[in-house]
Structure 1
């Protein structure tokens, strides 16, 4: 009864205060790879409301590959190391050398950080003939590798207890791929379950996106899109529709979705939108861009943050914000080779938050009590913000998601009673209580 009364009181309190809480945290993380050959890579975080940028720490390398946000932490894959930042305090909290020739992609499973190796052996020692490595997400200590993954890990996605790793028949760096496939790894046993070939035309399987149980791969060399059903194992490969030339990002996040099958990702010459389920172009040229660039989508404000990169004259690099009409609506600060971007956003559409009706925004969460991970299952995929609130009303964890299933890392929270508030873009909120052991 006491928990129920406290939950009711806290819900009323949150309805009146969440809008202000959300408005305070609209930031962009920019990972600058630096000048090639010079170890001046860095990671900055900028408040997009005030324009204030803070360097969260230099990396000490000359190349970066990816950035992953999980809760209050940002993980960066640099060429020869992995770094962990606490973006709430704007500090670097952990780092470790990478046991491979070069990182390429990051993913997270429970309290483990999954790291892919980009380059093949090329005469390297046996210690570097590893392409899928597992680190502790807390202190970045090395845990294990899966040596049965024999090709460079061009991308990694996690569904349930399985990692799906994009593989190619030849070394990616020699651009001789003739066969694309997925290596499927059971993360509970850290063993290879199978290799699933996508198609003989699915060359250069680069980036992957996930819709519920479906994986779509964007295959640059063959300009095709493959679909893979992780339940039935059915698969297809089709030519890209509408004559567009696919150009999946080499660094950083690949594509962004607001649900309903609509995805935004790079084409040759800019950013466009695509329905992967129906293999149709929605808009081939939302933001036309000449030259090299990286981008991230703020799925709440419907803006694209784009870093324009001029490798021959890095002083001309620019960070611009575009709306979905392609109009420039703002700027942000960038450094040398700003190749990976991430948005930290707690904003919701509308100025007020209200309680969801009984048939709206329903979700389940498990386990309860929980020790390290809390899995939240919505009735459908939609853009939401999930907040973990302690018993005195403090927001201790925030995470944005567009998926039906979201995993929250609560391992670092002290034991006690907490409340999970889920808020969608309409400003509707539903709150439930759980116990952290």
Structure 2
């Protein structure tokens, strides 16, 4: 498929701006995690209350996308992006100045609301300008930029703690938000022409979301994204308990083990970036399903056989991350491809399912199983099997459609 003529920006500029916008989300999630014990101690609260700051952020992040997307379909990507990142900066400053845990909750909610623009708008900007293999290539470049943030942010947060208090972390986040605002103001161009904009009315918004959820061509790749990130955030929540509490690894050893996850994702994105112009999106998605199947089998077999082995856990983690690298850009492009007239809403809904799947995965890992080990060897194979079953059902559905 050939791409339409770009409305405003080159592929590289779109990827850089989109990648930095998306990277703000995990930056805000992972930068301050090393400071959670300090925050809890400063406010005289419990660990559970400290973790609620993550929950509040996740919830606002997921839900606000459903508002951001339709707003951008009406007022344009650039203007809405600047408004939402201004809200993000405000939330960061509220957190930095928070005198109590309750005010920190408010700041984290405002942060999550503002940063939701990153996922929804980056995808809409790509869909406005590109399609097919070119869109997959740009989304893969965005993923590459995104990969660096969660790998570096916890280390940066630990360094900030050595130099000052946890408040500085939120000042850093505000500075990053201001940099995004400056980038949007000076380097971004509007990708949605006036003639393609649609009204921002409840009837139109709910009608568009109803169309998306009723369209299998949108819903299936979006649910595949949801399940893939369910698994990712599920084992991300479990690994500290398995390695540090269960195997006795030090925090440094744990960080070294997690490099497998980051390296695998970066490698996968580099491979997909090279293949995107030569291999179709459906073939990339098929490859991801094979990888999820291998990973799910690995989770079911290797940890029980080698309970004291870090490699037995990290090998299937690495394969799962390869699967996400192959699935994410191709599934996103597939979900967005038929809905250019409502790209903001489509980008918002894919982001909602992706973030919501991650949130559900982290919750399920902690609530539905008696311990982290059981969750790892039971939940991940089940998620892998469900992902493959959904894809097989969709192929059967397509084969029965009249040509």
Q: Which is richer in strand? A: 1
Shorter-chain TM-score bucket reads under 0.3
TM-score w.r.t. length of structure 2: 0.25
Q: TM-score, normalised by structure 1?
A: 0.24
Relative contact order: is structure 1 or structure 2 higher (C-alpha 8 Å, sep ≥ 6)? Answer: 2
More helix per residue:
2
